[in-house]
């Protein structure tokens, strides 16, 4: 997403060391690897073991080292590679197209696989378990806070009623359940009525805001003076964290007064880019 803008803000050149904290399908990692060249290095991190395996297979021969980790553990990842500091860090948070396309992960509303929604399927609690066990009031709070969904209480009540009959399991059944709890005319036609609820559960099971908050505190400790950081987020709560972190003038010179958004051309090619917001900053000494 926003590849030209990311590369321009990160100002990566030959021989540099950079971290891509969210490898995903590897689009940005490849661009970064080309820019740093054989004398440089890209450290590509992802929580998803499948993303790491695929990246390692497909990018063999490029100057990239892969680490299956949370990007908030960036200092530990760099320690393991004996790297003290880097010239740039990129975070492109959220889920990837590969995760969306994988029926077994439950990211898609049409998936008959389990409503899992974890980035790292080897740890933590899948979303289907969470929706079957939580009190309706707590579910409503999550859906309201992380999904900014005004019908959170109605949705939570419907979840509680449905799971009484049979535990909730598949993503597609869950999407239908959510849609049936929302008044028809209330949802703008271009987004699925379950979009906000899926987003809320994904943020909850992956503790996404916590990871981002910790990462924003720790990144400056490993960036060289003048080093750049760029973050692409998709959610107002994430964007606020980034905006607030880059406001700290003792650490950062903010390079984006307002967040950069995808061009109409990019949105036409990739509809998910319509809510992407890019902010970038330079580490001050």
Binding site for ligand SAM (CB under 6 A): 21-22, 24-28, 45-48, 51, 70-71, 92-96, 119, 211
The number of helices, as runs of H, and strands, as runs of E, in the chain is: 13, 7
CB of 25 to ligand SAM, least distance (A): 4
Q: Output 22 or 111, the one with its CB closest to ligand SAM.
A: 22
For residue 54, what are the β-bridge partners? none
Supply the DSSP string of 66-97, one letter for each residue: EEES-GGGHHHHHHHTT---EEEEEEE-S--H
φ, ψ (nearest 5 deg) of residue 222? -120, 10
CB of 17 to ligand SAM, least distance (A): 18
Q: Output 187 or 275, the one with its CB closest to ligand SAM.
A: 275
Residue 256's closest CA among 281, 229, 234?
Answer: 281
Phi-psi region of 267 (alpha: psi -120 to 50; beta: other; left: phi over 0): alpha
Q: Output 87 or 92, the one with its CB closest to ligand SAM.
A: 92
Pair type for strands 41-46 and 17-20: parallel
Q: Output 74 or 177, the one with its CB closest to ligand SAM.
A: 74
The count of C-alpha atoms lying within 13 angstroms of the C-alpha of 12, restricted to the half-sphere facing its C-beta, is: 33
Q: Output 117 or 168, the one with its CB closest to ligand SAM.
A: 117
CB of 184 to ligand SAM, least distance (A): 31
CB of 222 to ligand SAM, least distance (A): 15
CB of 211 to ligand SAM, least distance (A): 4
């Amino acid at each position: 997403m926003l590849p030209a803008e990311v590369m321009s803000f990160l100002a990566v050149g030959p021989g540099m060391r950079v971290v891509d904290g969210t490898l995903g399908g590897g689009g940005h990692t490849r661009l970064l690897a080309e820019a740093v060249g054989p004398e440089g290095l890209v450290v590509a991190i992802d929580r998803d073991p499948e993303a790491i395996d695929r990246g390692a297979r497909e990018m063999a021969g490029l100057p990239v080292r892969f680490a299956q980790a949370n990007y908030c553990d960036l200092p530990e990842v760099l320690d393991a590679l004996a790297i003290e500091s880097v010239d740039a860090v990129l975070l492109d948070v959220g889920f990837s197209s590969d995760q969306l396309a994988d029926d077994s992960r439950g990211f898609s509303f049409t998936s008959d696989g389990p409503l899992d929604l974890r980035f790292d399927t080897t740890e933590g609690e899948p979303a289907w378990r969470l929706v079957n066990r939580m009190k309706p009031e707590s579910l409503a709070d999550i859906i309201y806070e992380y999904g900014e969904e005004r019908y959170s209480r109605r949705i939570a009540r419907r979840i509680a009623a449905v799971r009484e009959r049979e535990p909730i399991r598949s993503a597609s059944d869950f999407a239908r359940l959510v849609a049936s709890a929302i008044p028809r005319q209330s949802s703008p036609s271009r987004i699925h009525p379950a979009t906000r609820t899926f987003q809320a559960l994904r943020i909850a099971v992956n503790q996404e805001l916590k990871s981002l908050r910790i990462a924003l505190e720790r990144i400056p400790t490993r960036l060289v003076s003048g080093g750049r950081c760029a973050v692409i987020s998709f959610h107002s709560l994430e964007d606020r964290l980034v905006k607030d972190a880059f406001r700290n003038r003792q650490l950062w010179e903010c390079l984006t007064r307002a967040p950069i958004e995808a061009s109409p051309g990019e949105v036409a090619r990739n509809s998910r880019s319509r809510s992407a917001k890019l902010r970038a900053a330079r580490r001050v000494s």
